A and B are shown apart, each in its own frame.
Chain A
Amino acid sequence: MGENQKARIATTSLAGCFGCHMSLLDIDERILQLAELVVFDKSPINDIKQFTGRCDVGLIEGGCCNEHNVEVLRDFRKHCDILISIGDCATMGGIPALRNTVPLQECLDEAYRDGPSVHNPSGMIPNDVELPLILDKVYPAHEVVKIDYHLPGCPPSADTLWEALVALLTAKPVELPYELVKYD
């Protein structure tokens, strides 16, 4: 299959831990098969920073915890035909969303001033203009843009990601056996 007939795929990690990306790499040698099916556009995997064209599929790891996440996610929505939220952070906010019940100032104080392991004599909270402002709470991806599919898991296993991607790319119904989407 020629490069221009292959599906274009982009990935990003927003308010996530990169665990979902690691899980994607966990497909091991199947990455060669994947390379047969897709070319990677913007992604931390190849370190392409800007979209180079329209993409078929965008994989979103993590929800939105700051304004930059929102910009990136909207950019993905603009460039990708299909967006998939992968992992609990993207689909539900996940661990970062634990702060959602705590007022923002208290979160910052705990992180930079009062936390038991914090050493910060000046008491300064990082506030460089380069730093994106953080949101009042952490939003799952689908609350910010329309998301087409959701894959649960923390992270979804390599097999789950593989089965879902291959089904999508080959236009077949996805078959995810219970073991692949059961998490207790």
Chain B
Amino acid sequence: MHDDVESTVQRICQSYDNDGRRLMDIVTDLHREYGCVDPEAMDLIARCVNVPRLRVQSLVSFYSFYAEAPRGRIVIRLSDDVIDRMHGYDRVAAAFCDELGIGMGETTADGLFTLERTACIGMCDQAPAGLVNDVVITHLSSDKARQIVQDLRRHGDPHQLVTSLGDGENGCDLIHSMVRNNLRKAGSVIFSPINRGEAIRKALSISPQEVIRAMKTARLRGRGGAGFPAGMKWEFARGAGDGQKYILCNADEGEPGTFKDRVILTERADRVFAGMTIAGYAIGASEGIMYLRAEYAYLKPHLEDVLRRRRIDGLLGETVLGRNEFAFDIRIQIGAGAYVCGEETALISSCEGKRGDPMTRPPFPAQKGYNGCPTVINNVETLCCVTKIMEEGPATFSDCGSDQSSGTKLLSISGDCKRAGVYEFPFGTTLREVLNECGGLEAQAVQVGGPSGKMVSPADFDRKICFEDLATGGSVMVFGPQRNILDIVHGFMDFFVDESCGYCTPCRVGNVLLKQLVERVRDGSGEPDDLDQMRRIAGTMKATSRCGLGQTSSNPVMSTLTTFETEYTDRVQDGPDGQRRGFDLAESVKAAESIAGRPSVHTGQDD
């Protein structure tokens, strides 16, 4: 056994040239073989790639898809977020637990199954969903859950769970998945027909500076959430010396309720890779990395194949389109289940084979990014826009959209609406039109921009989807009149508590405190003070957290405290005689009463 592990580790490390920057891949591959990276394997890896053992251990402990202790050969991960919960997550989870005879987070005695919950896996339009190893399972029910376990017990092969195929490329041999695109509205940019190679040809016919100018003329802004002008970002990187530079494509898509990049990668991967290549040409980079979230690992063979075909066709490689002065190639870096890795500096750390810890900015990645070199990071959708701008010219692109937001925006719509799925709208479309199209006009609230975005009430449904009004990376969650707003807020806080990297106290602790306060108010034991306390904690978190996660994770609370204030104020009241309503003396002495075998002398007069 020992020799076996040793030779496996050596073989895997060797396949990545014993390069410490490929630690993520090494550890991922090792999980494929053994389901975990135990202390012995850590030693071996550390020796092979010549890094301190602590670095291997801290990497393994950081990512939720890695484990130190052995897990089942089949790991079932149920997507646990607000939307999945609305569609019956609890029933599905209970059925899995019951059928497997284990609790959440446990492994069956025969070592066959591990059952875990995980954050949103990007399948909200087909929730409840989950992963069986790399295989996505959708539209779960308790019956289906039991059937899945029985089938797996019989054949042991997650791939055989896919009995009906999804639409479009989901059905191709390399993806072979039950996932559906649910592409409800294809607009003029992202999902328009593609003429492979055209955009790169046009880009290479003008100078890099002109390509950057085209992005500026098109007024292209980043689609990943922050809306930073792409042309400006590229210009910074281009101006940052003549050395090695990199293009990173952010395909981490971790913001709950966002699943539009998944559909792009399924249907228009060529357009994304073309965008990366054009960006490479513009800033003077010869290498690109696509950071793909582990939840989308099922797309990797397909993406690798698209890359392979692009190399054959001369769209990637040593001489792109036969041009000796332009070499560009792309590799795919797979993540391991950490939302924070979508943050650009954390994404860089992860690509470098480290924990996904965000870094203090400045320096910005455009100055000092991957391997310390100037790096441009763009979202999948942004890079698609790049290609389209090259194909049709910046004017056509900027004709569409609003004043400060040109082009179209993909929305991933889920929740209480008739037609959940992906929609491409021109920027400037009102939320009301969006809800009308997806059949969600009865909503009492819509969360725009994911948990870190805004909760919008019907009074604001005429606001526009665009950077200058309702900004969103793509997540639109619709909540019908039957939903409890505070349950939703609580669910969002759950997510942030789980996903905070823990580096800064305001974020690590603040999220927990906010979650507890929301819980208290929701459960009817809150007091008016608690609302002030929430505002104060949120203010501190916003002002003092290091990265965007902690700076925005109080938004679910702050946003609803503004637009849905009565949800809070109706539930709080002062306690009698200045006593806290949340504290129950009788309850808190129960354990001691049973140990001591005598009743409390104080609880009688308590009520």
Contacts and interface: CB of A to CB of B under 8 A. Distances in A.
A108 B592 CA distance: 10
A98 B596 CA distance: 22
B586 to A, nearest CB: 10
Contacts of A83: 578
Interface in A88-117: 103-105, 108
B579 interface: yes
B593 A133 contact: yes
Q: Which of A68, A135, A142 has the most CB of B within 10 A?
A: A135
B585 A143 contact: no
B578 A146 contact: yes
A67 B578 contact: no
A54 interface: no
Interface stretch (B55-63, B359-367, B561-569, B598-606): B598-606
Interface string B565-607: 0000000001101111011010111111101111011110000
A108 B577 contact: no
Q: Which of A78, A108, A146 has the most CB of B within 10 A?
A: A146
A1 interface: no
Given A133-B593, A135-B589, A143 B600 contact: no
A145 interface: yes
B325 interface: no
A70 B605 CA distance: 13
Contacts of A139: 583, 588
A154 B68 CA distance: 38
Contacts of A77: 577-579
B596 A137 contact: no
Given A77-B579, A139-B583, A146 B592 contact: no
B579 A135 contact: no
B208 to A, nearest CB: 48
Contacts of B590: 136
A171 interface: no
Contacts of B577: 74, 77-78
B583 A143 contact: yes
A136 B592 contact: yes
A127 interface: yes
Contacts of A70: 583, 585, 602
A83 B580 CA distance: 14
A144 interface: yes
B595 A105 contact: yes
A136 B591 contact: yes
B580 A144 contact: yes
Nearest to B593: A133
Contact of B592 (A74, A104, A129, A143): A104
A120 to B, nearest CB: 16
Contacts of B600: 67, 133
Nearest to A142: B580
Given A67-B600, A146-B529, A133 B579 contact: no
Contacts of B574: 146
B14 to A, nearest CB: 43
A134 interface: yes
A26 to B, nearest CB: 29
B580 A137 contact: no
Contacts of A135: 588-589, 592
A12 to B, nearest CB: 15
A78 B358 CA distance: 48
Nearest to B579: A145
Contact of A67 (B579, B585, B597): B585
A36 interface: no
B109 to A, nearest CB: 25
A78 to B, nearest CB: 6
Q: Which of B578, B579, B589, B591 has the most CB of A within 10 A?
A: B578
Interface string A53-76: 000000000000001101100100
B506 to A, nearest CB: 15
Given A67-B600, A71-B602, A104-B595, A137 B588 contact: yes
8 contacts: A125-B595, A129-B598, A132-B601, A134-B592, A135-B592, A136-B591, A145-B579, A146-B578
Interface of B: 527, 529, 574-575, 577-580, 582-583, 585, 587-593, 595-598, 600-603
List the 10 shortest-distance A-B pairs measured between CB atoms, nearest first.
Answer: A133-B592, A77-B578, A146-B578, A135-B588, A104-B591, A67-B602, A133-B589, A136-B591, A136-B588, A144-B583
Given A146-B527, A146-B578, 16 more contacts: A67-B585, A67-B600, A67-B603, A68-B602, A74-B579, A77-B577, A104-B591, A104-B592, A105-B595, A132-B602, A135-B589, A136-B587, A136-B590, A143-B580, A146-B574, A146-B580
